[in-house]
Amino acid sequence: MAGGYVYILTNKPNGILYVGVTNDLVRRIFEHRSKSVAGFTKRYGLDRLVHFEQFGDIRNAIQREHNVKHWSRAWKVRLIVANNPAWDDLYPTIT
């Protein structure tokens, strides 16, 4: 089975958070950034990739997304700050 990614988007440092899962991170973040898909991220302007994790099996990525989505905001913020303390947009690093 193919791999996958769990990712977190925001609109600004310490802004609204969105947790998602995909099998193609570059394509999916491009879709969010170009506002080509209606929904939560388009409505709130969430286009800054601040965290992502890669998994060898999409099922593991789906499970991780499920877990992270149920975390408190404080836990999600700690996860982001641990690897990206400046809340930099990581999209340029994956393209």
Residue-wise pLDDT tens digits, 32-69: 999 998 999 999 999 999 999 999 999 999 999 999 99
Q: Residue 1 above 90 pLDDT?
A: no
Q: Which residues contact 5 (CB under 8 A, 6 or more apart)?
A: 21, 22, 23, 25, 28, 52, 53, 54, 55, 61
What is the pTM assigned to this prediction? 0.96
* Domain limits, the chain: 4-94
Give the span between the Cα atoms of 70 and 86, in whole angstroms: 24
Give the span between the Cα atoms of 95 and 82, in whole angstroms: 22
CATH number of 4-94: 3.40.1440.10
Helix (H) or strand (E) holding 19: strand 17-22
List the structure tokens of 71.
Answer: 């975390």
